Structure 1
Amino acid sequence: MPTYATFCGALALGSLLLAGCVSKTTEQTQYSGFLPGYQNLQEAKSPSGQPVLRWVSPSFDSANYDTVAFDKLVLYPAPKPDDRVDLKTLQELQLYASNSVKSVLSKRYLLVPERQAAPPGSHVLEMHAAITGVSASNEGMHWYEVVPVAAVVGAVSAASGHRDQNTELYVEAYFVDAGSGQTVAKVVRKVFGETLSNESEKITADDFKTAIRGLTGDMAAFFK
């Protein structure tokens, strides 16, 4: 018969294990196919210290460009709205993220919607970016096999819909040197939004606005 102290200790240990099991980066099984290729991606830290999967050509220098061709983040693959993430939310996320990216890029570069719109003689960097997923999940549930006492509380909480959930936004992007046609950088990033109180709570665009500002802040530092 477990004592109260054992019970509390199991819960504490379980919480630590649960936090450690949450993947901070996109899993290979979650790659959308948006990038021209996923080879050479390496785990790295963004300027703000967040984990990111990234590849940058050794020859890439942001100072070599004066113009960026970017229209908006696309929703890829074709969105499939559901009861928790409706089409309006996806479109709001798309608009907010696209405007945030444009705000950052326009501070340093001439911003055009497509390469053909760049002035003659421009050194153009093309940006292709997509929101590839929006989700909320109870991650790391498998630790309950290790902590059977905590499993009882965890299982009841999850079954009743009262377990906190992570909100997750998946973004993929690649950059092309318009002159050579070569891809010069690729990034796959998973960002966490606000925590939802249960599995019935709807996901909204507001849940990710702080996370998107953090993401575009990292972009500004990368292109400084």
Structure 2
Amino acid sequence: MKFASMIGTVCIASLALMGCSSKVTQPDEYSGFLGDYSRLKEEKSPSGAAVMRWVDPKIDLSKYTSVYIEPTQLYPKPQPTVKIPAGTLSGITSYYDQALKREASKTLPLATSPGPGTLVMRAAITAVSSKTEGLKPYEVIPIALVAAAVSTASGIRDQETTLGTEAVFIDGESHAVVAQVVRKGTGKPLSNDSQVMKPDDVKGVIDGWASDLNKAFTQLKAR
């Protein structure tokens, strides 16, 4: 269960801004990145957020002495748009990598490649889509812009940035899957439907994911 708590916080921490909150990822929002979603169950992360998660009950934590973080993927491969250009997408994955390595290295050494004693993390920023009643879904891309009414009197709507992620944890020696997690979170709202999204708009979400991961590792190590 301790490892389950650690894994559940990898893709952690949805930030609810402007009164909007993230709910658990639904099956029709799964990207296909994990392949098999049949073992996932809805649980609560240590921060109280909803997460879909599975952890091998037979996992032996004592065998892992390092962690190897694969480069974050964009899955499915997106087509950049005017509002979410290629630079924003690459900036988000790059920052995700940096944050995960920064925080994970505080607890376990970073490995340069998979191997015996290494826990491998393979993560992706994945597509989520809007099904808001009365609004047409946006193009399915790794960061969906979901229209949310913030001023019904004036008719002005902010654009909420929603970030989805899926991750699988693999034994570096046997290549066996030992855990999976699916999460989504909410970043900064854009001021209008023409504002271009930037990596800074979701850095708070990513920092939360990485920070909570390190906290879970620390708690686990202490026990």
User: Given the two structures, how large is their TM-score scaled by the length of structure 1?
Assistant: 0.74
CA RMSD of aligned residues (A): 2.2
Give yes or no for the alignment of 1:209 onto 2:208. no
| Aligned with residue 185 of structure 1, among 167, 170, 179 | 179
Q: CA deviation at 1:216?
A: 1.1
8 Å contact 1:25–1:190 — kept in the other structure?
A: yes
Give yes or no for the alignment of 1:136 onto 2:145. yes
Q: What does the per-residue CA deviation read over 1:182-203, in whole Å, with 9 as the maximum and x for residues that have no partner?
A: 2111011101101222222221
**Counterparts of residues 23-102 of structure 1 (less than 5 Å):** 24-102=23-101
**Counterparts of residues 111-126 of structure 1 (less than 5 Å):** 111-115=110-114, 118=115, 122-126=116-120
Aligned-residue identity in percent? 39
Give yes or no for the alignment of 1:165 onto 2:159. yes
3-state SS of 2:91 partner: helix
- Looking at both structures, which has the greater relative contact order when contacts are Cα pairs under 8 Å and sequence separation is at least 6? 2
8 Å contact 2:23–2:184 — kept in the other structure?
A: yes
Name the CA distance, whole Å, in 1 between partners of 2:153 and 2:89. 31
Q: Which runs of 4+ in 1 moved over 6 A?
A: none
Q: CA deviation at 1:70?
A: 1.8
8 Å contact 1:46–1:218 — kept in the other structure?
A: no
Aligned residues: 184
**Counterparts of residues 5-20 of structure 1 (less than 5 Å):** none
Name the CA distance, whole Å, in 1 between partners of 2:180 and 2:99. 19
1:9 corresponds to:
none
Kindly indicate which of the two structures has a greater share of residues assigned to helix: 1
3-state SS of 2:145 partner: strand
1:147 corresponds to:
none
Structure whose alpha-carbon radius of gyration is higher: 1
8 Å contact 1:165–1:197 — kept in the other structure?
A: yes
User: Given the two structures, how large is their TM-score scaled by the length of structure 2?
Assistant: 0.74
